Structure 1
Amino acid sequence: MDLINILKHRHTTKAYDKERKIPAPIAAQLLESLRYSPSSVNSQPWHFFVADNDAGKARIAKATSGPFAFNAPRVMDASHVVVLSARNSLPADYLQTLADQEQADGRYANEEARALAHKGRSGFVGLHEQAGDVPTWTQKQTYIAQGFLLLSAALLGVDATPMEGFDASILSTELGLAEKGLSPAVIVALGYHSDADFNASLPKSRLPEKSVFSHI
């Protein structure tokens, strides 16, 4: 695997081949890349809505109307579309669910270790609650998951389009996000680009190394 070559050639896809579908084993790996993404204190403060058929994609595309209409074909023509949403709060019962899952997965040597981990995570969440920035924090964590999805797609030869160009209120209503305690963060379309994707052949453009790195 040549990671640098992959990074240089992945791109934000502008047009998809509607007839090409992501094979089920590849799609399953992409979803696992989201589930296994890292998050602060293993909070996993997200939920992912996946559309792999026209009806599901049409629901998401409702949010790409008006000034965001340019994204509608990317949603409808892609093989799969994922809405990455972030939790608005991390209540005690959710934190307990995390602790129970970690226990089931064998992460604790004993009850003392479990109690210490749970106390530490709850305390860290409490700091964000005091600061009043829990939704901002969970959105940041959800963007980590997006990064893992985009890189995983590139490694598996799948094209992707991250999109912030959508009406959050429309999407929230369509998916009932507020009732679920969630807010939309970003939409990612996945599939294979078509010949109409002008961005596929353009050279990558990034600022030079010396302008983005400082070795201290």
Structure 2
Amino acid sequence: MNLASLASQRYTTKAYDPARRVPQATIDELLVLLRQAPSSVNSQPWHFVVAGSEEGKARLAKGTQGPYAYNQPKVLDASHVILICARTEMTDAHLAHVLQQEADDGRFRDDEARAGQQRTRQTYVDLHRYERNDLQHWMEKQAYLALGTLLLGAAAMGVDATPMEGFDPQFLDAELGLRKQGYTSLVLVALGHRSDKDFNAALPKSRLPADRVITEI
């Protein structure tokens, strides 16, 4: 598998074939990629809502009404749609759950190592909460790391994908009760197989040249 070739070939799908489904086994692998995505100090400040049924996709499509109606067919025609969410607060309970999971998974040789990990993570949380005052933005950046992992993984598995910020996050937060759970909507990702009507499939991919975006020192 040539990752550079995959990155060059993948593109944002604009129309899906509603008759083609992505096998559940493939979706399950992509969900593993999401769960295993990297995050700063392993903070994992995310949640993923997966819609594979017509009813589930219809609920997510409610967030693409009005000025976002151009995205509604993608949500409804895709095989699956994933809503990537970020935490609205880095709570002590969440941090305790992460720490306990690390302990259960055998990451600490002793209590001192566990305490050191707790201090390090809390230091960065407090840095963004009190000094930089960008805790929400910091948590959202971690969720976008998961998005990048998902998009490359989908390309590697022959699945077309469309990341979409064009929806009403407040509407979906209310529709899914996300705020009560401590999350907020960030980005929708449609997954499926392109339609013959997808105009973007025939267009050449365009990126700025390497010498404009890469500096070697």
Q: Which moved more, 1:63-72 or 1:3-12?
A: 3-12
Match of 1:150 in 2: 151
The equivalent residue for 1:93 is 93
User: Structure 1 counterpart of 2:210, which letter?
Assistant: E
What do residues 23-73 of structure 1 show as CA deviations (whole Å, max 9, x unaligned)? 111111111110000000000000000000110001100010111000000
Equivalent residue number for residue 194 of structure 1: 195
Residue 7 of structure 1 pairs with residue 10 of structure 2 = no
> Where do 5+ consecutive residues of structure 1 fail to align?
none
C-alpha displacement of 1:10: 0.6
Q: Over aligned residues, Cα RMSD in angstroms?
A: 0.8
DSSP-derived class of the 1:190 partner:
strand
Establish whether residue 177 from structure 1 lines up as the match of residue 182 from structure 2.
no
Match of 2:141 in 1: 140
Q: Is residue 167 of structure 1 aligned with residue 168 of structure 2?
A: yes
How many residues align? The count is 216
Distance between the aligned counterparts of 2:171 and 2:93, measured in 1? 29
Residue of structure 1 in register with 2:80 after alignment: 80
- Aligned partners of 1:16 and 1:193 also within 8 Å: yes
Tell me if the contact between 1:158 and 1:190 (Cα under 8 Å) persists in the aligned partners: yes
**So what's the TM-score if we normalise by structure 2?**
0.97
| 1:137-163 Cα distance to aligned partner (Å, 9 max, x none) | 111110000000000000000000000
Aligned to 1:36: 36
Once the two structures are superposed, residues 90-145 of structure 1 have per-residue CA deviations (whole angstroms, 9 ceiling, x without a partner) of 11111111110000000001111011101111121111111332111111110000
Give the drift of 1:2.
2.0
**Alpha-carbon distance between aligned partners in 1 of 2:96 and 2:66, rounded to the nearest angstrom:** 42
TM-score normalized with structure 1 length: 0.98
Greater shift in the superposed pair: 178-187 or 139-148: 178-187
Question: Matched residues in 2 for 1:2 and 1:10: separation?
Answer: 12
Mapping of residues 51-66 of structure 1, within 5 Å: 51-66=51-66
Number of the residue aligned with 1:106 = 106
